[in-house]
């Protein structure tokens, strides 16, 4: 049923970083950024077989968008387009949302290599986690990262995610079953800081 998912749809903003639901009109921008980042994203993503250019074409976006909308309507995910100064530059998904006694989600994200290193994804992740723990009604978020992915591990470590697990051969990515490190946060762990965004702002102010 439309509108039945807690906390969805929503737009979240912090300075030049904005998270919003995808639109049908994002096809060209999504395809451009995905196609420009094949080498950057390929080692870290699970993807169906087929040429990258085809899987990430404006026509393919129709199916990606349809699946995202369907899953979000069912309350199973919150798929955000990540924008920087109004441009679509990345993606963040609160996925595998399970409610009842879990109230938990997995997070996945990426950003255009042309704007990497500017804190876009930590900002997006902090916004999304605060939203998940507030209007989203969730209690726990989890991020699973390949040990080799130092930039992504930096993101969660800066934000104070707890390293809590090692998952051997966890996901099929880039042609093989890859180990992952499990990081997580529960709402209690950020409540005393006034939320994750407030924690991130304080950290940025302290480190310049
Ligand atoms: C992981 C990723 C989302 C980080 O996003 P971001 O917005 O660049 O995050 P940050 O600005 O906080 O940078 C994170 C770290 O990347 C490294 N970094 C900085 N500039 C970089 C650049 N131009 N290129 C590569 N890495 C860079 C730094 O180590 C940085 O940490 P630090 O500066 O705090 O020490 C991004 O690197 C990415 O999209 N990678 C490819 C896809 C991916 O790995 N997705 C996650 C799968 S778990």
Check residue 47 and give its pLDDT.
85
Check residue 64 and give its pLDDT.
97
- Residues spanned by the domain of 169: 12-206
Residue 33 and residue 102 in contact, taking contact as beta carbons nearer than 8 Å: no
Walk across the sheet containing 12-14 and list its strands. Answer: 12-14, 17-21, 78-84, 87-98, 104-111, 140-145, 176-186, 162-173
State whether residue 135 is helix, strand or coil.
coil
Residue by residue, DSSP assigns 145-163 as: E-TT-HHHHHHHHHTTPEE
Check residue 1 and give its pLDDT.
47
Does residue 143 fall inside a structural domain? yes
Write out pLDDT tens, residues 107-143: 999 999 999 999 999 999 999 999 999 999 999 999 9
Ligand 1 center to residue 162 CA distance, Å? 19
Write phi, then psi, for 95 (nearest 5 degrees): -115, 175
Does residue 171 fall inside a structural domain? yes
Does residue 4 fall inside a structural domain? no
Does residue 1 fall inside a structural domain? no
Check residue 90 and give its pLDDT.
98
Check residue 3 and give its pLDDT.
52
Does the pTM exceed 0.95? yes
CATH of the domain at 78: 3.40.630.30
| Strand pairing class (140-145; 104-111) | parallel
Q: In which residue ranges of the chain is pLDDT below 50?
A: 1-2
Does residue 196 fall inside a structural domain? yes
Write phi, then psi, for 39 (nearest 5 degrees): -70, -30
The protein residue whose alpha carbon is closest to atom 40 in ligand 1 is: 110
The protein residue whose alpha carbon is closest to atom 27 in ligand 1 is: 117
Report the number of distinct structural domains present in the chain.
Answer: 1
Does residue 199 fall inside a structural domain? yes
Does residue 2 fall inside a structural domain? no
Does residue 162 fall inside a structural domain? yes
């Amino acid at each position: 049923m439309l509108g039945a998912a807690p906390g969805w749809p929503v737009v979240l903003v912090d300075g030049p970083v904005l998270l919003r639901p995808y639109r049908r009109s994002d096809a060209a921008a999504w395809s451009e950024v995905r196609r420009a980042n094949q080498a950057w994203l390929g080692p870290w993503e699970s993807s169906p077989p087929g040429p990258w250019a085809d899987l990430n074409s404006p026509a393919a976006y129709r199916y990606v968008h349809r699946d995202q909308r369907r899953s979000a309507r069912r309350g199973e995910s919150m798929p955000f387009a990540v924008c920087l100064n109004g441009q679509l530059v990345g993606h963040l998904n609160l996925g595998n949302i399970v409610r009842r006694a879990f109230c938990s989600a997995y997070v996945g994200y990426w950003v255009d290599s042309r704007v990497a290193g500017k804190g876009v994804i930590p900002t997006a992740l902090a916004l999304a986690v605060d939203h998940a723990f507030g209007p989203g009604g969730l209690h726990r978020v989890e991020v699973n990262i390949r040990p080799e992915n130092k930039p992504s591990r930096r993101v969660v470590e800066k934000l104070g995610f707890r390293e809590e697990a090692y998952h051997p051969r966890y996901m099929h990515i880039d042609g093989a079953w890859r180990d992952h490190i499990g990081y997580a946060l529960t709402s209690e762990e950020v409540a005393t800081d006034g939320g994750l965004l407030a924690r991130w702002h304080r950290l940025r102010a302290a480190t310049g």
